[in-house]
């Protein structure tokens, strides 16, 4: 893990999608650098505890884009939005089994300007990504 930490000081994009990260989010993201702008955790089987740990792990970052699609996030949206950094403007939560309260929270965040789900922003970020 220490070699990973050394290599991530300038990390801007991190895609861990389609990995089973249940109960491992806190450990994996414990040393995320402030430079992180884009985090893709699509279909990672995240739990409510993982989402709470995620919010704490990214607080010190400049995260702007977060994709949590295809994870069960029922009842997690309010807690998540209260814990992520204010730099977060794009949150993708497709197929997440959201509750009515979650939907209301997202709608309010969009109305207030806190969040935008403008997909063309993701396309701009993805242009800058390097795939290894």
Max intra-chain CA distance, the chain: 43
| Residue 30 pLDDT grade (very low, low, confident, very high; cuts 50, 70, 90) | confident
What sign has the CA pseudo-torsion 66, 69, 72, 78? positive
Q: Is 0.75 topped by the overall pTM? A: yes
* Dihedral class, residue 97 (left if φ above 0, else alpha if ψ from -120 to 50, else beta): left
Convert the pLDDT of each residue in 75-96 to its tens digit: 999 999 999 999 999 999 999 9
Residue scoring higher pLDDT (102 or 32): 102
- Which structural domains are found in the chain, ordered by start? 9-127 (3.80.10.10)
């Amino acid at each position: 893990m220490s070699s990973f930490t050394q290599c991530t000081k300038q990390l801007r994009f991190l895609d861990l999608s389609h990995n089973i990260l249940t109960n491992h989010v806190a450990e994996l993201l414990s040393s995320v650098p402030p430079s992180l702008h884009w985090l893709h955790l699509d279909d990672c089987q995240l739990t409510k505890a993982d989402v709470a740990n995620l919010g704490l792990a990214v607080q010190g970052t400049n995260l702007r884009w977060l994709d949590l699609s295809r994870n069960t996030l029922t009842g997690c949206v309010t807690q998540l939005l209260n814990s992520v950094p204010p730099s977060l403007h794009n949150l993708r939560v497709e197929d997440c089994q959201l509750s009515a309260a979650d939907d209301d929270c997202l709608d309010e965040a969009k109305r207030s300007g806190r969040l935008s789900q403008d997909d063309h922003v993701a396309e701009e970020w993805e242009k800058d990504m390097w795939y290894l």
